[in-house]
C-alpha cells in the first residue's frame, strides 16, 4: 500500500505518549518504520536503549532528547540521530510536542531492568 491515510494509521498509547504508526510491515513497508509521536507538556520520558538507529524530527513544541546522557534541546525543524545501542530519553517542556520518528524494522527498546519492549507501531 503506497499511501497511508490518517484514518488508516494505527494509534498506540504508551507511557503517556501517543504513537501514530504510518509505515511498518503491517502497512506494507519492508525496511522502514515511521510514526508521529505526540507527547503532553512536562512529561519525563522513559530511558531505554535502542537496538536500531532512530531519527527524530520535531514538528511542534520543544523537546529535550537525551542520547547517552547528553541532552539536546530541539525545536520545530530540528532533527537528531540516535545510533543503535544508545540510550535515549525524550522529555517535553511547558507545552505539548510532536515529532516524526523513523527507524528500521526490528527496533526494540531495552529498559533499565533489562526487559525488552518490541513496540507494536513498528510491526
Q: Which structural domain, as residue segments, surrounds residue 93?
A: 19-122
Does residue 103 fall inside a structural domain?
yes
Does residue 12 fall inside a structural domain?
no
In this structure, what C-alpha cell is assigned to residue 123? 510491526
Does residue 2 fall inside a structural domain?
no
The number of folded domains in the chain is: 1
Q: Which residues of the chain have pLDDT under 70?
A: 1
Give residue 27's pLDDT: 86
Give residue 3's pLDDT: 87
Give residue 112's pLDDT: 93
Return the CATH number at 52: 2.60.120.10
Q: List, as one string, the DSSP characters of 85-117.
A: T-EEEEEE-SS-EEEEEEEETT--EE-TTS-EE
Q: List, as one string, the DSSP characters of 20-73.
A: EEEESGGGT-SSEEEEEEEE-TT-----EEESS-EEEEEEES-EEEEETTEEEE
Residue 96 CA to residue 84 CA, distance in Å, equals 27
Amino acid at each position: 500500500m503506497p499511501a497511508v491515510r490518517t484514518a488508516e494509521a494505527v494509534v498506540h498509547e504508551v507511557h503517556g505518549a501517543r504513537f501514530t504508526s504510518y509505515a511498518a510491515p503491517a502497512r506494507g513497508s519492508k525496511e522502514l518504520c515511521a510514526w508521529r509521536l505526540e507527547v503532553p507538556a512536562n512529561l519525563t520520558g522513559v530511558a531505554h536503549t535502542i537496538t536500531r538507529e532512530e531519527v527524530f524530527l520535531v514538528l511542534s513544541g520543544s523537546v529535550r532528547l537525551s542520547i547517552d546522557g547528553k541532552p539536546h534541546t530541539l525545536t520545530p525543524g530540528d532533527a537528531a540521530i540516535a545510533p543503535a545501542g544508545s540510550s535515549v530519553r525524550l522529555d517535553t517542556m511547558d507545552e505539548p510536542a510532536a515529532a516524526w520518528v523513523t527507524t528500521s524494522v526490528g527496533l526494540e527498546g531495552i529498559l533499565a531492568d533489562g526487559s525488552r519492549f518490541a513496540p507494536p507501531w513498528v510491526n
